[in-house]
Amino acid sequence: MVALQLSHVEARYSRKVIYADASTPEIAGGQLTALVGANAAGKSTLFRRIAGQLSGGGIVTLSGASPQDLRYMPQDTGMTAALSVYESVILSLKQGRGGWRLDAGELAAVDGILQRLNIAGLADAPLAELSGGQRQMVSIAQTLVSRPRVVLMDEPTSALDLYRQYEVLDLLRRYAAETGAVVILALHDLNQVMRACAMTIAVADGRIVATGPTLETLNPDLLRALYGIEARVETCSRGCPMMIVDRVLELQ
């Protein structure tokens, strides 16, 4: 099983310190972990630090995986290359591996991920001609095609229609369970978080303010502190937890 842990991690953009001292308990693979927090709280910055794109002190410990096993899907995935969808997924698979020759297993991996995400019909489409949601589906395919053992996805459902949102979350949940991978998703929709993510990490103002099982973590006090809203979690008539927002509090 794979696990990830942060110990006294710092993250900064040149001299601007965003995280001074971020620590987590061990985040286990095999399930989905949500990363939640308000706009500008530091979700993307934490991902960049874990992915090695930002410098800073402290230690990011990976157990059962190496930094090469990590794939990070940024929030804004610029897709300007003059490639087809199929070529772009091959390129992602070959990232960090020597040579351009594709063996049968690699071709099967590319076909397989396009089929699992129901976008095989887009294989020959130029990236430049995709819709926003289609681009996001291709980014997800690029991220998963090498079957990474650590996956960081920054708002992976933000451009998707309702069907695709739940399709992708279910697929990611199964992926984590099948592979034992650590899969962390930055998400704003807390109903999606409660449905799909067993664990939640909450960040506010460059600090990790809570880490724990989702339903224990997303309590009214935390929601007030994170978002300035008065909200509660109730159980729907079919037994699923649902977030209800009663009121937006005045900004302090």
Ligand X SMILES: Nc1ncnc2c1ncn2[C@@H]1O[C@H](COP(=O)(O)OP(=O)(O)OP(=O)(O)O)[C@@H](O)[C@H]1O
Binding site for ligand X (CB under 6 A): 13, 16, 18, 37, 39-45, 75
Q: Cβ closer to ligand X: 69 or 155?
A: 155
Supply the minimum distance, in Å, between the C-beta of residue 100 and ligand X.
Answer: 33
Q: Cβ closer to ligand X: 76 or 103?
A: 76
Q: Cβ closer to ligand X: 44 or 146?
A: 44
The answer to whether residues 29 and 198 touch, using CB atoms and an 8 Å cutoff, is no
Supply the minimum distance, in Å, between the C-beta of residue 202 and ligand X.
Answer: 11
4 by DSSP, 3-state: which? strand
If one asks whether residue 75 binds Mg ion (CB under 5 A), the answer comes out as: yes
Q: Cβ closer to Mg ion: 9 or 113?
A: 9
Burial of 174 (0-12, 13-18, 19+ CB in 10 A): exposed
Neighbouring residues of 203: CB distance < 8 A, sequence distance ≥ 6: 35, 36, 37, 41, 42, 43, 46, 209
The torsion angles phi and psi of 213, rounded to 5 degrees, stand at -55, 135
Choose among Mg ion, ligand X, none what residue 165 binds, the Cβ cut-off being 5 to 8 Å by kind. none
Helices assigned H by DSSP within 117-242: 132-144, 162-179, 190-196, 214-217, 220-227
Supply the minimum distance, in Å, between the C-beta of residue 129 and Mg ion.
Answer: 27
Choose among ligand X, Mg ion, none what residue 18 binds, the Cβ cut-off being 5 to 8 Å by kind. ligand X
Strands 207-213 and 199-204: antiparallel
227 by DSSP, 3-state: which? helix
5 by DSSP, 3-state: which? strand
What are 204's strand-pairing partners?
207
Supply the minimum distance, in Å, between the C-beta of residue 49 and ligand X.
Answer: 9
Q: Cβ closer to ligand X: 16 or 101?
A: 16
**Per-position x/- string for 30-69, each x denoting binding to Mg ion as judged by CB under 5 A, each - no binding:** -------------xx-------------------------
Supply the minimum distance, in Å, between the C-beta of residue 155 and ligand X.
Answer: 7
Query: Which residues in this chain contact Mg ion in the complex, by CB under 5 A?
Result: 43-44, 75
